[in-house]
Each structure stands twice: as C-alpha cells, then as structure tokens.
Structure 1
Amino acid sequence: MELEREPRRKPTPPKSTPARGPAPASQTTVTRTYTAPTEEIVMPNEQTYAREVCVVQGILFLTIGLIGFVVTDLFSAHLSASHNAIHLASGALALWFGFDSERSARIYSFAFGSVYGALAILGFALGKPAMATVGHVAEDRFLWKLIPGVLEFGTADHILHTLIASAFILGAALKIKRVKRMKA
C-alpha cells in the first residue's frame, strides 16, 4: 500500500509595509532571539616551562650583570667587565625569547643551555690550578683562562654554568599540561 504525501507548500514571503513612519500598534511585530546558555570548553594545552625559565633567568642575568660591575667576586665567580657584558646580553636575549613565543623560548633554552653546558664541561676539562687575575683573585683548582686577564672561569663559574645549563635544558624539555578554558 502506498502512502500519500501532502504536497509541499511554498513559504509565503513576509508582507512589507511602506516606510511612512511608525506602524500602527496592530501591525507591530516583536522578534525575540533565544540563545543557548554558554558552555565552558576545556581544552588541554601542552606547553613547556621554557618561557618561564627564559623570563626568570633573563631577570637574574640582567641583575647579576649589573651587580657584577660593582662586586667583582660575587658568588666567588670571576666577573670582569666583558663577563658582565655577556651576562647583560644573555639576559636581554632570554627575556626577548621568553616573551616571544613558546617555540622560540624552547629553541633558545636548548641552544643556550647547550652553550652553558659546554662552557661548564670545557671549564672542568681545560681548567688548571692557577691564580686568577680577574674577579675573585685567588688560587683556583680549575681556572680556565679563556682570554687571560679579560675572561676567566673558575670552579664557581663552572658550577654556576652547570646549574644554568640544567635549568634551561630542563625548562625546554619538561612539558606541562595546562587547562585552557574557553567560552563556547
């Protein structure tokens, strides 16, 4: 048995009224718009600590670079004018990349951590017992005179470089999941 279908009707267009002023009260139409309640969408956002590490280390480098001009044996390190200038440049770059983007902060953290790690390893490997001429002027067991009288690294410098390298590399490698809340 075949079912009969009702023929489709064409929708009637709304009647337009000439624009001669306000419509009488009997012809006024009210349009209501209903919106669904907004839901909160929770999206996991995977990030690294690289940006935070860059910003914190950048501030520390700038601070140590400035203090190093006054206190040349801060933390028993061998701070010279060129060493402090390197700290200031490193701090400015770290802040730049820390505020730039997650990707650039990770790249900078890996690169910068690798450079400081290499400085630490080379310092312990190439350092010899000697008397420093810059910064903390004392006998040092692992003194590496990269540029004698200008840029010298001692045991304290190597330990600090190891800590700095570890912080940057771990900051770039460790991923965190933060919850990003958005309105639907």
Structure 2
Amino acid sequence: MQHTQKNFIALLKAISYKLKAERGFTLIETIFYISIITVVTGVLLITVLNNLTAYNKSESRQNMFANANDALETIIRDTKYAKSIYTPTSIFDNDAGQLSLETAIGAPTGEITTFVDFYLDNGVVYQKKEGEVALALTSERVVITKLRFSDMTSGTRHSITAEISGRINTDAEGGSGNTATINLASSAALRGAY
C-alpha cells in the first residue's frame, strides 16, 4: 500500500506540474517575448524609414535633373535656331549670366525677327520672349545656383556654351545635410553660322 501511495503522490505531483505549465507564460517568458517583438518591430521600422528616405532623395534628384536638363535643352534649341546673339544685353562668363538671341521663330506679325532672353533670377531660370511675360523654365523646388554662358565665337562661326548648376534640398527639415547637386553643360552653334 505504501508503494501505491508513493506512486499516487508522484502522479499527483506530475499532474500538478503539468497543470502549472499549461496555465500560461511566466513573467520572464512574457518579458522575453515582448523584448523580441520590440526588437524585430524596431528593425523593421528603421528599415522602412530608411527606404522611404532613400526613395524621396532619389525622386528629388530625378526631379532636379529633369528641371535643369529641360531648361538647358530649351536654351540650346533656341540657340541653334537663332539668327544672332544680341550682345548689348547678353552677360557672358558670369554665374548669373544672361543670353539674348535674335530669332525669326515666333516673330510677331509684321516683324522679321524677335528677341528671346534667358536669365537667372532668385534661383529660377527664365525665358523671356519679346512682348511676353517671362516663363520659368525650372521649378521653385530646384534652386539654380549658376547659369553661365560662354561666347565661343570663332571668326564667323557663332556658338554658345551654356552651363547650369543647381541644388535641391532633400532633407525634410530643410537642413543642408542631404543636399543633392547637379552640373550640366552643353554647346550649340547658331544656325546662321553654318
């Protein structure tokens, strides 16, 4: 009987231990699991935020390149089709340059030629056609820091080199730590110079 009693007590202890284990998590287990979940969530959050920041920077750089490139292409296209360079109002070899062109394209009715100017004002590149309001060629989000024109005239061959430098702030707080910059240059010979 004593042997049966010992077996019964051992069985009760085993059942009691099993019941305690099935009741739930211990405090240490709960803290451990919460710590693991917190670390994994933190790593995922940091990864997502870094990816969003990189995406925004990439989009800003693409926007800046598109703005500066479109402005440069407009300047070069108009230069190619220009009849001559109007030197009294053109400013060469200066970071805030101005290019004035005489062109037959878009001339008012009754006129043979008209004038078009390209200039930099408060970080924006403008195209000003005679008798029209100036047209911004770059976005306000892009700050153009240099618009330089060089007169590469050689004898009777007239050509212009245009350089554009700009920046855009990709930092959400408006700081200068994450600033993307761009430098573009292109040349064109005036059509009348061929």
Which structure's residues are more often helix, by fraction?
Answer: 1
Bigger-Rg structure (1/2): 2
- Give me the TM-score of the superposition, normalised by structure 1: 0.29
Q: Pick 1 or 2: higher relative contact order, CA cutoff 8 A, min separation 6.
A: 1
- Give me the TM-score of the superposition, normalised by structure 2: 0.28
Which structure's residues are more often strand, by fraction?
Answer: 2
